[in-house]
Amino acid sequence: MSTTFLKYISYLATFDDGYGEVGREMTDGGVLIRDNVIAAVGPMSGFVDVVADRVLDLSDHVVMPGMINTHHHFYQNLTRVMVQDDELFVWLKTLYPIWAKLDDRAMETASRMAMAELIMSGCTTSSDHQYIMPNDCTLDTPIRVAQEMGLRFHAARGAMSRGESKGGLPPDSCVEEEEAILRDAERLIHRYHDMSDHAMTRIVLAPCSAFSVTQGLMKDAARLARMHPGVRLHSHIAEVLSEEEYCIATYGMRSVAYAESCEWLGPDVWFAHAIFLNDAEIKTFAETGTGATFCPSAHMRCGLGIMRAREMLDAGVTVGLGVDGSASNDTSNMFMEARMAQYLQRVAPDRYLSEVPGGRGGFGGTPGALSAREALWMATRAGAKLLGRDDIGQLAPGKSADLIAIKRTRLGLAGTQRDPLAALVMCGPFEVDHSFINGVQIIDQGAFTRLDVAAALADHAATMDRIYA
């Protein structure tokens, strides 16, 4: 048994239960870690004669739970800053042929780079939606990379099965046979899905979208997932108006009604985007316990629209945060995502349209639509709930030892003494100085303990040359 004591924490935010908006917040705090679990957390006055194998002085640091990224496409960092000005369907159809050239070695390289970016920006748990499996690609590879990197990982076995010849959007070269998809999904569940407390790997079933898979695959995936405890369901929904038009033309109903027809609503389901939900559909999400991921940077980058996150939260929908794909964002920084989530909700035009004399004026916002603490709650506790976990996303005895520390004595945090926690959102984005995942220190004084960054960058550059040759 090993112990680590984090002492003299300048500002500690726990995000635990029963203590206001984000749990207990305190100055001069301490956290005791025993193996991979938090043993104690609280004011330093409560730690008397603590003996630990390692003691780390975190005075002048802000400490909070590690953040949870609930939607990503790791492989896309091989196609960044491409198709900069076109709508989503054009963006996809341009990139599909490039993604079709990827092999498993390229997926390994891309996964490592994406995970490194996430960890450095405060993420300790991530889901990844790998919905394209060209050539020799398998989901085993990012799972192995996550184990090497020390990232807590919910691997989403995505899929596309409806190519252009069958009325779908992707080219036929990018799709798989449905029997093979389901067979591989079951293999992954039996091999990797771990339902124990503090598990580092779980499997998610994630057919890509209404315009790239059949109704049959959606139903079969839901049945398969529900045969295995804790296997959750994930997909895209209502991301772009073209998707709503496609669902009406193809299935005779909007995307949420289509999801319901496929048995894809419930507390074991969460969708990415959910931008174009109407009032009734938000109510349906709330009543069924269906969750959603807000990806504000990608929504702005691709000109999609503004998710009605404030209304969804008020209705009781669980809304987490996701950075989305590395080519639709084009970064992987959870602090940035929290910041954009807060600010984008404050200018949402469909709620606060104002009129001025002489004609229509600008869009008016509301200063308090989403607070910095709410954004961080979405990035921690809400993310944990979307993934079906109660052992992460908070600092409390018995919970997983996933936490991050950011040094306050840096340029971007000068003048933030009044509210160091909100400063992490409103003054960011930042990189972390320390990161512990499952009790293991992954970032130490701003440097990786398990990754040679220079070698990873060189490998990524060589992979880019090979793929684009």
pLDDT in tens, 65-75: 999 999 999 99
* Cα 307 to Cα 404: distance, rounded to the nearest angstrom: 28
Within a domain: residue 458? no
Q: Is the pLDDT of residue 135 over 60?
A: yes
The CATH number of the domain holding residue 436 is 2.30.40.10
pLDDT of residue 26: 96
How far, in whole angstroms, is CA 203 from its chain's centroid?
A: 15
* Cα 308 to Cα 167: distance, rounded to the nearest angstrom: 30
pLDDT of residue 86: 79
Q: Any residues with CB less than 8 A from the CB of 37 and at least 6 apart, and which?
A: 198, 398, 399, 400, 401, 439
What's the pLDDT band for 358 if we cut at 50, 70, 90?
Answer: very low
Together in a domain, 154 and 290: yes
What is the mean pLDDT of the segment spanning 35-57?
Answer: 96
pLDDT of residue 96: 85
How far, in whole angstroms, is CA 375 from its chain's centroid?
A: 13
What is the mean pLDDT of the segment spanning 253-265?
Answer: 97
Q: Is the pLDDT of residue 356 over 50?
A: no
In sequence order, the β-bridge partners of residue 6 are: 31, 56
The CATH number of the domain holding residue 190 is 3.20.20.140
pLDDT in tens, 413-439: 999 999 999 999 999 899 999 999 999
Reported as half-sphere exposure (CB side, CA atoms, 13 A), residue 204 has a value of: 29
Q: Is the pLDDT of residue 255 over 90?
A: yes
Within a domain: residue 454? no
Q: Give the residue with greater pLDDT, 443 vs 84.
A: 443
Alpha-helical runs (H) found in 175-326: 178-192, 215-226, 241-251, 255-261, 279-288, 296-301, 309-315
Q: Are strands 152-159 and 123-130 parallel, antiparallel or unpaired?
A: parallel
| Domain count within the chain | 2
Q: Any residues with CB less than 8 A from the CB of 427 and at least 6 apart, and which?
A: 412, 413, 416
Q: Any residues with CB less than 8 A from the CB of 273 and at least 6 apart, and which?
A: 236, 237, 238, 239, 292, 293, 295, 299, 304, 307
pLDDT in tens, 311-321: 999 999 999 99
* Amino acid of residue 50: V
Within a domain: residue 461? no
**What b-and-e string marks burial along 386-414, b requiring 16 or more CB atoms within 10 Å of the CB?**
bbbbebbbbbbeebbbbbbbbbbeeeebe
Within a domain: residue 466? no
Within a domain: residue 457? no
Task: Work out the mean pLDDT of the chain and round it to a whole number.
Answer: 93
Q: Is the pLDDT of residue 361 over 70?
A: no
Domain hosting residue 434, numbered range: 3-65+394-448
